[in-house]
Amino acid sequence: MKYEESKYAKKAGENFRAGYNCSQSVVLAFEDLYDIDRETALKVSSSFGGGMGRLREVCGGVSGMLIVAGLLYGYHEPRDYEGKSEHYARVQELAKAYEAENGSIVCRELLGLTQKRDEPKPEQRTEEYYKKRPCEQLVKMAAGIMEAYIKEHPLEKSNK
C-alpha cells in the first residue's frame, strides 16, 4: 500500500483541503486514537503550519506526525530516560521514513524555496494554490507513515 492511499492519509488530505494547516491536517486525521478534544488538538498543532508559522523550517506535516507520535506513544515523566530515549528513537525513525520518500523534512526544501522565512500571512486556498503546492500530498504521506508505524507498533488500550 502506498502511504498516500491509507485511511488516515485520506483524512489528512481532506483536512488540508478544508483549510487546516499541514500540521493540523495530520493531527486531526488521528483524532479517533487520542484522548484530547478537537479544539485542543487544533490549537496545539496550529503553530506548525508553513514549517512553524511560515518560517519554512520543519514541514508542518512532519510536525503533525510527531505530535501524533507524542500523543500516542510519548513519555511524561522527566526522569524517564529510557522512555525519552525510546521516544526520540521513534521520532528519528518517523522523520527518516519521511525524508527517504521526499529527500528532506524541511518545508522550504520540499517547496523549492530559496528564502528561509516567509511573510506571516498565509496564501488564500484556491485551486491555483493547490496546483502549485505539493502540501496536500505531503500531509497525506506524513499521515500514511504514521499509520504504518501504528500498525507495526500496536497501541496499548490505555492510550484511548
Whole-angstrom distance, CA of residue 16 vs CA of residue 35: 22
pLDDT at residue 69 is higher than 70: yes
Q: What is the pLDDT of residues 77-86, one digit of tens each?
A: 999 999 999 9
Mean of pLDDT over the chain: 93
pTM for the whole structure = 0.93
pLDDT of residue 66: 98
Q: Which residues contact 84 (CB under 8 A, 6 or more apart)?
A: 75
pLDDT tens profile 5-25: 899 999 999 999 999 999 999
Distances (CA, A) of 3 to 37, 59, 90, 112, 149: 26, 17, 18, 22, 11
Separation of alpha carbons 22 and 12, rounded Å:
8
The stretch 94-113 carries a mean pLDDT of: 96
Residue 101 has pLDDT above 70, yes or no: yes
Which structural domain, as residue segments, surrounds residue 37? 3-159
Q: Are 115 and 34 in contact, with CB atoms under 8 Å apart?
A: no
Query: In angstroms, rounded to a whole number, what is the distance separating the alpha carbons of residues 48 and 62?
Result: 9
Residue 1 has pLDDT above 80, yes or no: no
Q: What is the pLDDT of residue 157?
A: 61
Count of the separate structural domains present in the chain: 1
CB atoms within 10 A of CB 68: 30
